[in-house]
Amino acid sequence: MYSTICVHTPAKTGASILMIYTGGTLGMAYDANGQLKPFDFGQILQNLPEIDRFDFTLTVIAFDNPIDSSNVTPNHWIEWAQIIEQNYTLYDGFVILHGTDTMAYSASALSFLLKGLNKPVIFTGAQLPIGSIRTDARENMITALEIASARNERNEPQMSEVCIYFHSRLLRGNRAKKVESTQFDAFYSENYPPLAEAGISIDFRPALMRPFVTEATLQVQNHMDDRVAILKIFPGISRYVVESILNIPDLQAVVLETYGSGNAPTDTWFTECLSKAIQRGIVILNVSQCLGGTVLQGRYSTSKHLLDIGVIGGGDITTEAAITKLMYLAGSGLSKTDWQPLLTTSICGEMS
């Protein structure tokens, strides 16, 4: 359940923004035991007097029970996508306040679910609660709202995709990863440059953004299938570990996290385990453990065996985007024969 709050309605409005407050460190405070606990959205607003200076209308949807992002599930992604769909014609842009731990997963998921998106959806949050003296919450929130309301010289949205704004950088949501837990620059995108950077002014880079499509029609997929898994390769990985994952009942797909440019052990048992899984209809997507670079199956002998048995190369996709893309495809109703061309090409900017 959630409540809708009209926060700010200036006399002359330039745009209308809907902000969705889901939870996260931004909206927390320390309790008597020194633990962070969520508080209501009204307390957040008390720490943001700058809102009264905006030239756009701001409405907030605040969930009655804010969640720690560690508890986010695909059901939350569906709910948020449906909220955007229900309010799509009423607002010019959307900002989602979210915890940092799973923000990259959520941004990736919504990038797939919101097909035909031609308005900005900006995720942001904070490393410190908004009531803390040195908090990063104010700058992140204020600039995310400014970006969501920004228009270009043709009066089109400056960007029309799902993004993460954090610590002065606007990143494509399905390219970002959380890379820091103790520094303010928590997110980075190794394989795709920032779409904008905020200093004294906000420097937008239109050439890097997905193009605005006037005639685009939003279509929201209302199901994701979570019968997926991640298998991370490590030196000494045992047959028991590999088989225990690949033999999960009704498993549909696996992200195989490999070394470097897609390399993995060449042990016969390992190849056989993967091959048998593929023959049973399990889709295996090869993604590099590296922050940057790309999977090039067949470049080395330690990846050619994967190519030969039908493992799909994931290119430069992140693990966060890969697992949510598999959930999206598994929930789409498409046959698995139709998955491969979609897994090896970009649907919404998630891979090169």
Q: State the Cα angle at 82 between 283 and 95, rounded to 5°.
A: 100
| Token reading at 95 | 């900002």
181 marked among binding-site residues? no
Say how far apart CA 92 and CA 339 lie, in whole Å.
33
Say how far apart CA 183 and CA 83 lie, in whole Å.
32
332 marked among binding-site residues? no
Say how far apart CA 175 and CA 187 lie, in whole Å.
10
Q: State the Cα angle at 221 between 92 and 66, rounded to 5°.
A: 65
Question: Among residues 223, 288, 268, 248, which one has the least CA distance to residue 79?
Answer: 223
Residues designated catalytic: 25, 100
Residue 60 φ then ψ, to 5°: -120, 135
As a whole number of Å, the end-to-end CA separation of the chain is 39
346 marked among binding-site residues? no
- Asked whether 107 and 132 are in contact (CB, 8 A), the reply is no
> In whole angstroms, how large is the CA radius of gyration of the chain?
21
Question: Among residues 177, 166, 175, which one has the least CA distance to residue 144?
Answer: 166
Residue tagged 């599930």 (tokens):
73
- Decide the pairing of beta strands 228-232 and 219-220: unpaired
Side chain identity at 48, as an amino acid letter?
A: L
CB atoms within 10 A of CB 56: 21
**Eight-state DSSP code of residue 247:** T
- Asked whether 251 and 243 are in contact (CB, 8 A), the reply is no
Binding-site residues: 69, 100-101
Query: Residue positions in the annotated binding site for substrate?
Result: 69, 100-101
